[in-house]
Amino acid sequence: MSGLRLLLVDDEPQIVRALTPALQAAGYTVEAKATGEGALAALAAEPCDAILLDLGLPDMDGKEVIARVREWSDAPIIVLSARDLESEKIAALDAGADDYVNKPVGVGELLARLRAAQRGRERRFASQARVRAGDLEIDFALRRVTIQGEEVHLTPREYDLLRVLARHAGRVVTHRQLIAAVWGPGAQVDAQFVRVLVGQLRQKVEAEPASPRLVTTEPGLGYRLAAEDEGGPP
């Protein structure tokens, strides 16, 4: 047991009841809260290592919870929502959520996302020089990308795109975040350009560009670089 503290914010008792055993088995100490205010109070009382947050809370909008947590806490937030409105998810991600999972979700995928979100945080702070994803390896210091040890030549934009995705490996990166990273903040670029650029990148790094496994599409939201999962609970 690594004793990681996890805040589970959902107003549906049956969800809490169904998720808690698996989260505990995966080594988390679960604290469940049914309201946004309750969650913020619990977080203020004791820092936590991850937050699983339902967007439809009785007292306040989930996006507002994210914004208020982000005012002072860097804890990874994974949005857990039955809403399938893309705009809600984008807003939650842009507000500072690390990732989202759609209800219903299997615990295997949920735990993998939790691990990816946490690794993402650690990676950002550890300024890791290399990231692996399948056969793909990115060396940030040398700006070198290799597949099975063979170098791949990328244009500067393709490299920037891959770098951002790799920095958030395993997590979704929204169109807006990608545009800001590749074209610069405030750039007026259509999401269509991102699509084209991703297509070019896939031609160079994917074994089968038509059915990508490394750079996957999150319809309506953005893209995700497959995380290298060390497998198993932390």
Partner 1 sequence: MMKFGPMWQATPEPGEARSLRGLVREGLRYAAVLPIVALTSGVAEVFYRLTGSARLSSIFLAGVLLAAFLLGSGPAYLAAALAFLVYMFQVDPRFQLSFGGAEDFNVLMLFLAVAGLTGLLIGRMRDEAARAKAWQRINAALLDATQEFSATSDEAAIRRSLARHIARAARGAAEVRGEETYSHTVGGPPAKGAVPAWRVRPLRAGDGAFGEAAWRPLGGPSLSEEEQTLIEILADTGAAAISRARLAAAKAEAEARARTEDLRNALLSSISHDLRTPLAAILASATSLREFDGRFDAAVRLDLADTIREEAERLDTTVANLLSMSRLEAGQLTVATSAFNVPEVVERAVARRNRGEQRAFELHIDPATPEAEGDAVLFEQAFGNVVENALRYSPAGAPIAVRVAGRGQEVVVEVTDEGPGVDPAEAERIFEKFYRSSAARGTAGTGLGLAISRGLMAGMGGRIGVRNRTDRSGLVATLSLRAAA
Q: Is 1 in the site for partner 1 (CB under 8 A)?
A: no
Helix (H/G/I), strand (E/B), else coil: 103:
coil
Considering only 7, 8, 9, 19, the residue that binds partner 1 (CB under 8 A) is: 19
E strand or H helix at 180: helix 175-182
- Please report how close the Cβ of residue 165 comes to partner 1 at its closest, in angstroms: 27
d(CA 31, CA 41): 12
Query: In 3D, which of 77, 75, 16, 71 has the Cα closest to residue 48?
Result: 75
- Please report how close the Cβ of residue 22 comes to partner 1 at its closest, in angstroms: 4
Q: Nearer to partner 1 by C-beta: 83 or 176? A: 83
Q: Nearest 5 degrees, angle CA 70-CA 115-CA 41? A: 35
Q: Is 130 in the site for partner 1 (CB under 8 A)?
A: no
Q: Nearer to partner 1 by C-beta: 44 or 105? A: 105
Site for partner 1 in 28-87 (CB under 8 A): 56, 58-59, 82-85
Site for partner 1 in 92-111 (CB under 8 A): 103-108, 110
d(CA 167, CA 122): 11
Which two structure tokens, joined as six digits, stand for 93?
């991600």
Which residues are at the interface with partner 1 (CB under 8 A)?
Answer: 11-12, 14-15, 17-19, 21-22, 25-26, 56, 58-59, 82-85, 103-108, 110
